[in-house]
Structure 1
Amino acid sequence: MLEQYADYQLCLVNEETGYPVAVANCVPVPCSGPDDLPPEGWDWLLETAAKPKGPHNMLGALAISVPAIHRSKGYARKMIRALLDLAEAKGLHGLVAPVRPSAKAHHPWVSIDDYISWTDHEGRIYDPWLRSHLSSGGKLVGPCERSMVVHEPLPFWETWAKQTFDETGAYVLDGVLTPVEIDVACQYGRYEEPNVWVAYAA
């Protein structure tokens, strides 16, 4: 997929060291507008880019990645700006992003609707990554509750969690934004990661 859209993948390189300090992955998609964005989010972007039903008119952001050693240096915001510049250069109408709220993993039992209603002591949206998007000009559209769905056999989850699951139920694993539903009888687990749609005009 990314090879198909190689000219939509961005990398920020430190001029002195020659090493990458940030990466942004995105794909062009047909989209009638922010009001029609679906609850599938990240999965929808991949599926729609692979089999578009109409001309590409919007840029869909899949990820912005900054190594831990380079965080808090403004690189993520530079990549947001670079994505907006790319959308404009490609003649697209804007940018949509199923944003993974970075601090949600600390509150896995809180619904995504409640979580995005939280504010900090200054009245800003609570989540720092969502806050970065909004301060960069993005508009919060709303949750995409099933942005990334992972449905895998039980051994997959036991390998990830480094534990065995003897009872059916909801489990909080390291890094998840919401609990993983484990079904011991079916020997399967399902994770539906909620993200938040953010839209930018070109």
Structure 2
Amino acid sequence: MTVHADQAVEVVTLASRPELAPLLDGFDGAWPEFMRWDPMGALYYAVVEEAYPEFALLALDPERPDRALACAFSVPLAWGEDPLPAGGWDRMIQRASLDRTLGTTPTMVSALEICVQPDLRGRGLSAVMLAEMRANTARLGFDTLVAPVRPSGKHAFPDVPMEEYARRVRADGLPEDPWLRTHVRAGGVIEGVAPRSMVVSGSLEEWRGWTGLPFDTTGPVEVPGALAPVHCDVAQDHAVYVEANVWVRHRAG
């Protein structure tokens, strides 16, 4: 299927079309396998259908009803502190889960994920989904959308600190990174870095299964798709990946 950003794409919420929930699992190969093992993720994704369906978006494929072109997830939470938390993605899920348990009234929305089918990337769908997420945030009565952004080009520079990478700009002043550039073009403002936004830890056997790499030497290991090296400790039979993300703030609407 040929999809371009200027095409009209039908985007619906899971709340309006709950029967489409199985399509959320139809994005094989969209993310590196190790990213599925951040333990905080289950606090959101395990309950999204019942707890946050109005914050889950799907772009429908008119030619294939068995899949979605793209999906987008966000979560409501109460946050009034500045700056935004160093814990990034993990912290937003944790706070939203606590707020839901305690019945705290949310004050803002945090993006969690925008995912496009691997065969449709580079055609502007991510910008479409970002616009839809901003509009959906406003429809739900919020004026602020924040995003712990995972820069799409950072994996090519795993040894460059995120603070340095996020500051890289082109001659026109826009971010060098394509995904950060999309956010800024949409009106987002880069506010800083979340240095421990996602944390994935596991045994060396688990990491071998997730990556196909030997993990047999203590020290940093470069893993395809990772934004920073994974720290491997052979003596302790353990490896840890700590990913920094970039905080971007949007006005909803």
TM-score, normalised with respect to structure 1:
0.93
Please identify, of 16-25 and 167-176, the stretch whose mean Cα deviation from structure 2 is larger: 16-25
| Post-superposition CA distance 1:18-63 (Å, at most 9, x none) | 4421100111111116x33101111111111111173211111110
Instruction: Give 1:2's match in structure 2, choosing from 28, 48, 52.
Output: 48
Mapping of residues 46-125 of structure 1, within 5 Å: 46-52=93-99, 54-125=104-175
Q: Percent identity?
A: 36
Change (3 A) 1:163 1:81: closer
1:201 deviates by 1.6
Give the match's secondary structure for 1:174. coil
Following superposition, the deviation at residue 17 of structure 1 comes to 4.4
Q: CA deviation digits over 1:152-176, x for unaligned, max 9?
A: 1111112223232332101101110
2:75 corresponds to which of 27, 30, 45: 27
Specify the alignment match of 1:168 in structure 2: 218
TM-score scaled by structure 2? Answer: 0.75
| 1:180 partner amino acid | V
* Structure 1 residues not aligned, in runs of 5+: none
Once residues 211 and 128 of structure 2 are traced to their aligned partners in structure 1, the CA distance between those partners, rounded to angstroms, is 34
Query: CA–CA distance in 1 between the matches of 2:201 and 2:111?
Result: 23
Gapped regions of structure 2 (runs ≥ 5): 1-46
Which one-letter code corresponds to 2:249 in the other structure? A
Q: Secondary structure at the match of 1:36?
A: coil
In 1, Cα distance between equivalents of 2:105 and 2:242: 29
Higher helix share: 2
Structure 2: how far apart are the matches of 1:163 and 1:101?
24
Give the Cα separation in 2 of the matches to 1:138 and 1:31.
18
Number of aligned positions between the proteins = 201
Deviations 1:105-129 (A, max 9, x none): 0000000011011112433211000
Aligned to 1:36: 83
